Amino acid sequence: MTDDDAAELHLAVCRRFGEAVRSAEGNWDRRSPCEEWDARGVLEHVIGFHDVLLLRPLGLKPDRPTDDAQERWQLTYDALAEALESGGARRLDEYRLMPNLTRDVLVHTWDQARAVGADDRLDPEWCELCYAGLPPDPRTLSSTGMFHGPVPVPGESDPQARLLARLGRDPFWRPGPL
């Protein structure tokens, strides 16, 4: 995958995350599949790792309002588009971060959408691509402390369920009543 392809894929995944963010209005305090975060926490995590890994180092961290979550994401997305169009993907690829960053946004899209009861379907091709990039040993990621251990799913599960389960999420998780 070229740097341009990686940047294009990342922005596409970020646009999908933006759909989940737009669906969250009024539900920011809803619990997410990430035990430590509510819907707002998922959003702030995604904004934060983009700031630390890409936007701040390139001098593109936007000045965001504190009280408008959707605007916070839109300004982040706009800055990401500028960063990636100006070669930021090459910077991330130097550290082999781009695939991991894209995978993280993709999975957090599911977290965000699932938390607020929005459409949580992920592109199957994106899921397959992210799954293919995982380490062969399923315990490798959980040993970092950043992921729970893999969750068992039926062998005929779709690519989304397999990816989520491999990253320690229960693909059948549901929040309490909205």
Q: Per-residue pLDDT for 54 more than 70?
A: yes
Closest CA to 112 of 16, 48, 178, 177: 16
Question: Degrees (nearest 5) of the Cα angle 90, 1, 147?
Answer: 80
Helix residue ranges, H only, 51-123:
69-85, 88-94, 98-116
pLDDT at 95: 62
Same domain for 86 and 144, yes or no, is no
Same domain for 25 and 97, yes or no, is yes
Same domain for 80 and 162, yes or no, is no
Q: Per-residue pLDDT for 94 more than 70?
A: no
Dihedrals φ, ψ of 90, to 5°? -65, -40
Same domain for 52 and 99, yes or no, is yes
pLDDT at 140: 86
Contact 17, 123 (CB under 8 A): no
Same domain for 27 and 109, yes or no, is yes
Contact 91, 53 (CB under 8 A): no
Same domain for 98 and 78, yes or no, is yes
Same domain for 153 and 116, yes or no, is no
Domain that holds residue 129: 125-172
What share of the chain has pLDDT > 90, as a percent? 72
Same domain for 93 and 109, yes or no, is yes
- In sequence order, what are the residues at sequence separation of 6 or more whose Cβ sits closer than 8 angstroms to the Cβ of residue 22? 70
